[in-house]
A = this chain, B = another copy of it.
């Protein structure tokens, strides 16, 4: 039976040269000169034996494993798979593999998982987690591991960030609602400990103020999680305390919950109250009413963050842009209409 895996030594024996020569012949990048026909001979032998380099051994020696870590809150959340594919689409052709971990937005898991990645010697980390304060990742970045964050910026730490233009997204929705005639616009905000929740809320409040719209404290409800149940609960509380004609939700799932609440109460959306989401999850167009929302660049975010990381990994001296913001687009569907005549 064939040996489990072939090594450089096997090729060396086969071709009658030293293993270092084989190594150099197979990696022209290290600048060593090996005669062309010897290179051919060695490559042929490698091919014939089915040689596959042992990256553990190489990584041990070089401190580069051609592996990167990707930290996300939860792959089950529909926005993350496209990001992952985007990351993979640039990393894989370059020979990198990615180890993905789900943090569930828990600080404890986050610190744990950072170690899981570092023990495996990842060359860099793409950090798509959304926790506002993440102790460990900053430490890792300081220690020299390339890190790029997506969808959140870590304040004043020099960690590059790839983000969608949330400020613009919120303004687009708001203008759309305003054009339709809405004046009392409420907000169901995302969890306070998540950067997206926080930032969209601030964008909303700023924009509303600038537009001169009324916004009593009851006009913004804080959700505890980005899910439908919370959307339902927040919508209920909102209508108990105020009488908005439109609800701008911090993400699609909250919006779905809110719409469900309206339906359960017999309130027509959009005829009586308009609702908007954020993210443009798949299949939203098939719902009734279709959800007006903001489409964010997911695949693109993944790609850009990976490109940035590659730059940092291959040239540690290069100064990476500290922030990269990607465009968003408003998607108009049925959940927004003019407010009731009243």
Contacts and interface: CB of A to CB of B under 8 A. Distances in A.
Interface of A: 2, 4-5, 52-57, 59-60, 65, 67, 74-76, 78, 80-82, 84-85, 88, 92, 97-102, 115-121, 143-144, 256, 281-283, 286-288
A54 B283 CA distance: 44
Contact of A75 (B55, B74, B84, B101): B84
Given A102-B85, A102-B88, A283-B283, A53 B97 contact: no
B53 A286 contact: no
A56 B59 contact: yes
A81 to B, nearest CB: 4
**Counting chain B CB atoms within 10 Å of each CB, which of A56, A76, A288 scores highest?**
A56
Contacts of A99: 67, 97-100
20 contacts: A4-B144, A55-B120, A56-B59, A56-B60, A57-B60, A65-B120, A67-B120, A75-B85, A76-B82, A78-B78, A78-B282, A80-B81, A92-B116, A97-B116, A97-B117, A98-B100, A99-B100, A100-B100, A281-B283, A287-B288
Given A52-B118, A81-B81, 15 more contacts: A52-B119, A54-B119, A54-B121, A55-B119, A56-B59, A57-B60, A67-B99, A75-B85, A76-B82, A76-B85, A88-B101, A88-B102, A281-B283, A286-B287, A287-B288
B286 A256 contact: yes
**In terms of DSSP, what is the predominant structure of the interface of chain A?**
mixed
List the number of copies, as a whole number.
2
A101 B143 CA distance: 29
Nearest to A75: B81
Contacts of A283: 256, 281, 283, 287
A116 B167 CA distance: 40
A55 to B, nearest CB: 5
A116 B256 CA distance: 40
Given A85-B75, A118-B52, A143 B4 contact: yes
A101 B99 CA distance: 9
A9 to B, nearest CB: 14
A100 B100 CA distance: 7
Nearest to A282: B78
A188 to B, nearest CB: 18
Nearest to A76: B81
